Structure 1
Amino acid sequence: MCRALENLPTTCLERAKELKTRFGNFLLKQELNIMGHSKKNTKLTLEDRQKWTQSFHELLLHNDGLCAFTAFLSSEYSEENIAFYLACEDYRNTKTSSKLCSKARKIYEEFVCSDAPREVNLDHETKTSTLNNMEQPTLSCFNLAQSKIYTLMEKDCYPRFLKSTVYQELITQHVG
């Protein structure tokens, strides 16, 4: 990613075209892996792409939908939201209690605490509640924070994604 940032075009129009190209190329890769969400060799159909408009949940259930939405958030410089959501999903699936504490601390330090490198937009009460949960981490210690970020993406980012040029082109593009 850092290498890509070094060669950014100078004008907004060139930047938009580059993002559109990268977004499209990203979706066409046969093997995708976003935090354990891997895609088998299946073709993306128009029906799949249209399901994404039914609900935000439906979009996230489909690996290509998740990938497209992640790329969209990256183009808006807000990919920390989906990264946090997926980190919480991964955390909730932790099988051994010995890993809970270290995973919880990592998520908290990366996304929740003030001045975190990828800080998500949470209100003071949610941050305080999450910090209190960190004293004895359980599988549900991030539930409130994750729910807030999910709602933020569903109500704010998801409608913009559906209206985006790139998504509209995905709908009209012949794939499969």
Structure 2
Amino acid sequence: MPSLTGEPLTTQHFIMDADEGKRNKNIGKNFMSRLQCMFSHSSGSESRLSLEDTQQWSQSLERLLESKYGLATFRNFLKSEYSDENIEFWLTCEDYKKIKSSFRMSSRAKKVYEQFIKAESPKEINIDYHTREQIKRNVKTPSTHCFDDAQKIVFGLMERDSYPRFLRSDIYRTLLENLAADATKG
């Protein structure tokens, strides 16, 4: 059977594949350990990363984002693809909606606009011209709903594009495999 390069597969190819498998398992274990260390100080129902919780991430993007481990893993995946502006914008909008002070809201709305909405901004998100112009007007007299339309668009983009790629990614699959192996060990 030929390899992807067209040359016949040798014992060396299988050794390399086995080494890569070991490397992926180690990467998965290391990532799992880092995730648990990140959240070891927090308390609550989700104190340990479990196979069941991790499997539930595949049910919906909402389910993934509701999990502190899921969110951290998804962000890590997007950063590895250099495409984390959408999740960063979505999270920024969630924080923005919690602002009570009109002064802080005005200041923060301008920063969000400059960072994510304005054409050629550092983390420009992919939204249509009409939405961009509407937000430009909204920022002049901001409310908690100033970025809602853009946030919905970005969520839809993540749901249709990034999220399915994440579910097929080595990060997610290796994490599931490691948790399943740990569960069978008992």
Q: Which amino acid aligns with 2:90?
A: Y
Q: How does 1:43-82 map to 2 (within 5 A)?
A: 43-82=48-87
The equivalent of 1:29 in structure 2 is 37
Q: How far 1:27 sits from its partner (Å)? A: 2.2
**Structure 1 alignment gaps of length 5 or more:** 1-16, 33-37
Are the equivalent residues in 2 in contact too, given 1:39–1:63 (CA < 8 A)?
A: no
After TM superposition, give the deviation of residue 59 of structure 1 in Å.
0.2
Q: TM-score, normalised by structure 2?
A: 0.76
For residues 28-82 of structure 1, the C-alpha deviation after alignment (integer angstroms, 9 at most, x for no partner) is 42338xxxxx953711110100110111000000000000000000011011111
Q: Percent of aligned positions with the same letter in both sequences?
A: 39
SS at match of 2:59: coil
Q: Deviation string for 1:5-36 (max 9, x for gaps)?
A: xxxxxxxxxxxx79x9498154242338xxxx
Alignment CA distance shift 1:65-1:110 (3 Å): same
| 2:140 aligned counterpart, secondary structure | coil
Bigger Rg, which one = 2
Assess if the C-alpha contact under 8 Å between 1:111 and 1:118 holds in 2.
yes
2:51 aligned partner, one-letter code:
L
Cα separation, partners in 2 of 1:39 and 1:148, compared to 1, 3 Å: farther
Q: Which amino acid in 1 is paired with 2:72?
A: C
Query: Do the aligned partners of 1:31 and 1:39 also contact (CA within 8 Å) in 2?
Result: yes
Runs of 4+ in structure 1 over 3 Å off: 20-23, 38-41
The one-letter code sitting in structure 2 at the alignment partner of 1:152 is L
Q: 1:161·1:167 contact (CA, 8 Å) conserved in 2?
A: yes
Unaligned runs of 5+ in 2: 1-22
- Give the structure 2 partner of residue 35 of structure 1: none
Q: Give the length in aligned residue pairs.
A: 155
2 CA distance for matches of 1:125 and 1:54? 32
Distance 2:67 2:143 in 1: 28
Does structure 2 conserve the Cα–Cα contact (< 8 Å) formed by 1:130 and 1:142? yes
| Distance in 2 separating the partners of 1:83 and 1:30 | 18
Contact in 2 for aligned 1:30/1:40 (Cα 8 Å):
no
SS at structure 1 position matched to 2:63: helix
1:128 counterpart = 2:133: yes
Paired with 2:52 and 2:39, the residues of 1 have a C-alpha distance of 20
Offset of residue 87 of structure 1: 0.4
> TM-score normalised to the size of structure 1?
0.80
